[in-house]
Amino acid sequence: MVSTYFSYNYITRNLKQSLTRVEQQPDVAREAAYYKANIGKVKTVDDFMKDYRLYHYAMKAYGLEDMAYAKAFMKKVLESDLSDSKSFVNKLVDKRYREFAAAFSFHGSATPVAQSENQTDEMIGLYTATKKHQVDALADDSTYYSAEIGNISSADQLLNNDRLRNYVYSAYGIDQTKWPRDTISQVLRSNPSDPNSYVNTTFASQLTGLNAQLAQARSDVSAANSKISDYTAQLSQPGANVTQLKVQILVEQHHLESYTNSISSLSDQIATIGGFVDLAGAFEFSPDGSLPPGVSAQTAANVTITKQRFDDSKAAVYSAASPLNEAFAIRQFRTAILKVNSVQAFVSTPNVYDFALGAVGLDPKEVSQATVKAVLESDLSDPKSYVYTLKDDRYVELARAFNFDAKGNLTTPLVAQDSAEVLDIARNYVIAALKQASPQQQKAVREQAQKDATSYQEAIADIGSVSDLLANRKMVDFILVAKGLEPKKVSTEYLKKIFASDLSNPKSFANTQSDPRFAEIVASFNFDNKGNVARLPMMGPQKRDQFRETQANYLQQSLEQQQGDTNPGVRLALYFQRKAGEITSAYDILADKALSEVFRTTFDLPDSMAAMPIDQQAKFVDRFMKIKDLSDPAKVAKLLNRFTAMYDIKNNQSTGQAQSPLLNLFQGSSSAISGVSESTFLAIAKLRAHP
């Protein structure tokens, strides 16, 4: 029989070819094709578990075939919230169940929501920052006005300076969309004390008539209200003509609406004229627009008045930015956003609509709801979609902050990495960090690793493309460490090629690399073929990386099982190699029968050791091996070479033979080696030559 050592090394040296041979086997190919064709049809856990072939395929992929019968138990596993440390699956000691649950999105990150918690937190942060920026901008405008108004020498110069002109218009309530520049220029040149000046003959002269009309309109409102009250009272009187009275009430209500609109219009006109008169009196320009020699455009008193009027005109901005109002708006937004289930609901909920537009710097009064709806229904991955035609980053920012599809319905968040993936990367990073720490360093290393993990979780929300990710080397290194890779050995240029690969093409760069972990990294991100964050299509309850991992695991499990049918030692070695990266302590080895058997065989320890107290067993593990070495593939390979040689010795030995000196490499007690194959002797010799 071919030795364990030879078989294991042959397979690992040619792992891709070995897996390809398994993949091409008719029964394996048939089950893989069925899984691929049907997993997308699954909508619920029950759907999944009712399909025998799908369910058993996945159970085998995660080494849980022997638990396939326990459907009630496995359903609780699949429905567990991985982010909740107290959930059912997180309380189980066997890590395979968590891996199985993480392979599906029946709970958590795949749930369509208007905003994820991260998006809501980001929008609130953006709202706070925008309000502060707006207040700071007003202060800057006032500082600029104070510094520059003394340099103005003519009315035209003032109006030609956009920033000064806008400041003055705001201060005096002038809508520049309604009033031509020439009109304002003539007002600035007017002397309000001269009855023949432009501002008086053109505008102030209207005030008497407008005030009279306003008084009449107010009187008419009072009369209409009185009539409505009178007619309403008559409705309850005996013998009243109800029909006629209701008609009269409707007529008066129509009159009331007309009179009320007149009051609003007349008040606006009077206020505008008052603003023009005040504007004329606030500046010292001559009728030709110039300034008399030695005279400034404004006196110090008028500069102060203008600045005060400007601040008054921006009262809404200052009020919104006040701590009390800001906290109130945030509280209302947090509550209201949870009830938004469509774009229509979004635009119909002021506490959400006004807050969101304000957060990105848009004025709800100046933007039509139709525009906002079209923006939120845009496909951000399509450069020709509506949102990009507006040529305004504020609208893009708004669209990214919410999760609506082209029909205005809820969809999943647009993020570089789903929350389940982020948690998995963070967890693996902490594990990798702990492996390198001594028992004395464990607490400090864990605390720092968890801080790093928190930073990663916060930073990933800002990643919008592959370029963003690769530009942040700290994040890249975090991911590499989490995957058990050495950051110093992986260049950014290499990663660019990896991320540019088409994972659906088996011949792409990522898929042809000897280390599959790089393709796994790409699959864990939601980047489209242009490198931008996109909402990648789900395959039923699985995302792209979950599906790929399930199929890869199925092949690996099939390979291990088939090798185990011929030689259990090879299966044990392959299993240990696969699980080595997840081992963080001696207890991980002792809790797994297969791993502990590899350990005992490697170091020729008796099976009776399993009956010892667990803490005593752990001391033996720490004495014979360094857990951190299990992160190094080369050291794992050396360990398993030793295991396979020892496995052959243990399982081919016979009694009555003298002990070979070569066995001193591995064991302290006497043992015969009759029946050991030549390849095993060769393995022992190689190990002795390369300690």
Q: What is the largest CA-CA distance in the chain?
A: 132
Q: How many CA atoms lie within 13 A of 58 on its CB side?
A: 26
C-alpha to C-alpha distance for 658 and 672, rounded to whole angstroms: 6
User: Do 89 and 120 sit in the same domain of this protein?
Assistant: yes
- The proportion of the chain whose per-residue pLDDT surpasses 70, expressed as a percent, equals 93
C-alpha to C-alpha distance for 549 and 523, rounded to whole angstroms: 9
Q: Is 127 helix (H, G, I), strand (E, B) or coil?
A: helix
pLDDT at residue 530 in the model: 85
On whether the CB atoms of residues 375 and 442 are closer than 8 A, the answer is: no
User: Do 12 and 161 sit in the same domain of this protein?
Assistant: no
On whether the CB atoms of residues 433 and 418 are closer than 8 A, the answer is: no
pLDDT at residue 154 in the model: 95
- The proportion of the chain whose per-residue pLDDT surpasses 90, expressed as a percent, equals 65
Q: How many CB atoms lie within 10 A of CB 339?
A: 11
pLDDT exceeds 70 at position 53:
yes
pLDDT exceeds 80 at position 419:
no
Phi, psi of 673 (to 5 degrees): -130, 20
Residue type, 356: A
User: Do 279 and 427 sit in the same domain of this protein?
Assistant: no
Contacts of 489 (CB under 8 A, 6+ apart): none
Q: Is 363 helix (H, G, I), strand (E, B) or coil?
A: coil
**CA distances to 154, 411, 544, 668 from 540, in Å:** 70, 14, 10, 56
Give the confidence band of 68 by pLDDT, cuts at 50, 70, 90: very high
**Residues 387-402: what's their mean pLDDT?**
94
Into how many domains does the chain fold?
A: 3
Q: Which of 535, 569, 594 is the last residue of a domain?
A: 535
**CA nearest neighbour of 534 among 412, 420, 425:** 412
C-alpha to C-alpha distance for 144 and 307, rounded to whole angstroms: 11
**CA nearest neighbour of 598 among 556, 552, 639:** 639
**CA nearest neighbour of 362 among 313, 401, 309, 415:** 401
**Burial tier of 606 (Cβ tally within 10 Å: 0-12, 13-18, 19+):** exposed
Q: Which of 107, 128, 149 is the last residue of a domain?
A: 128
**Residues 617-642: what's their mean pLDDT?**
89
User: Do 141 and 277 sit in the same domain of this protein?
Assistant: yes
Q: How many CB atoms lie within 10 A of CB 454?
A: 11
Q: How many CB atoms lie within 10 A of CB 213?
A: 17
pLDDT exceeds 50 at position 252:
yes
User: Do 72 and 212 sit in the same domain of this protein?
Assistant: no
Question: Which of 191-195, 499-503, 660-664 is predicted with the least confidence, judged by mean pLDDT?
Answer: 660-664
Question: Which of 13-17, 46-50, 193-197, 546-550 is predicted with the least confidence, judged by mean pLDDT?
Answer: 13-17
Q: Is residue 256 part of a domain?
A: yes
CA-CA-CA-CA dihedral for 44, 45, 48, 52, to nearest 10: -150
Q: For residue 308, give its domain range.
A: 136-312
Give pLDDT tens digits for 136-158: 999 999 999 999 999 999 999 99
User: Which neighbouring-strand residues pair with 409?
Assistant: 342
Give pLDDT tens digits for 485-525: 999 999 999 999 999 999 888 889 998 888 888 998 998 89
User: Do 528 and 426 sit in the same domain of this protein?
Assistant: yes
Q: Is residue 682 part of a domain?
A: no
User: Do 50 and 145 sit in the same domain of this protein?
Assistant: no
Give pLDDT tens digits for 214-249: 999 999 999 999 999 999 999 989 988 999 999 999
pLDDT at residue 661 in the model: 37
Contacts of 461 (CB under 8 A, 6+ apart): 118, 122, 415
User: Do 146 and 291 sit in the same domain of this protein?
Assistant: yes
pLDDT at residue 627 in the model: 86
On whether the CB atoms of residues 602 and 642 are closer than 8 A, the answer is: yes
User: Do 75 and 188 sit in the same domain of this protein?
Assistant: no
Contacts of 187 (CB under 8 A, 6+ apart): 198, 199, 203, 276, 279, 280
**Residues 325-339: what's their mean pLDDT?**
96
On whether the CB atoms of residues 408 and 342 are closer than 8 A, the answer is: yes
User: Do 156 and 244 sit in the same domain of this protein?
Assistant: yes
User: Do 111 and 150 sit in the same domain of this protein?
Assistant: no
Q: Is residue 647 part of a domain?
A: no
**CA nearest neighbour of 625 among 606, 600, 650, 607:** 600
pLDDT at residue 1 in the model: 59
pLDDT exceeds 80 at position 667:
no
pLDDT at residue 594 in the model: 92
Q: Which of 77, 103, 128 is the last residue of a domain?
A: 128
On whether the CB atoms of residues 481 and 433 are closer than 8 A, the answer is: yes
Q: Which comes out higher in pLDDT, residue 652 or 608?
A: 608
User: Do 198 and 57 sit in the same domain of this protein?
Assistant: no
pLDDT at residue 82 in the model: 83
On whether the CB atoms of residues 456 and 475 are closer than 8 A, the answer is: yes
Q: Is residue 261 part of a domain?
A: yes
Q: Is residue 513 part of a domain?
A: yes
Per the prediction, the chain carries an average pLDDT of: 89
Q: Is residue 407 part of a domain?
A: no
C-alpha to C-alpha distance for 543 and 523, rounded to whole angstroms: 9
On whether the CB atoms of residues 380 and 411 are closer than 8 A, the answer is: no
Most confident of 305-309, 451-455, 590-594, 664-668: 305-309
Q: Is residue 402 part of a domain?
A: no
The pair of three-digit structure tokens given for residue 594, joined into one six-digit string = 């297969």
C-alpha to C-alpha distance for 101 and 89, rounded to whole angstroms: 8
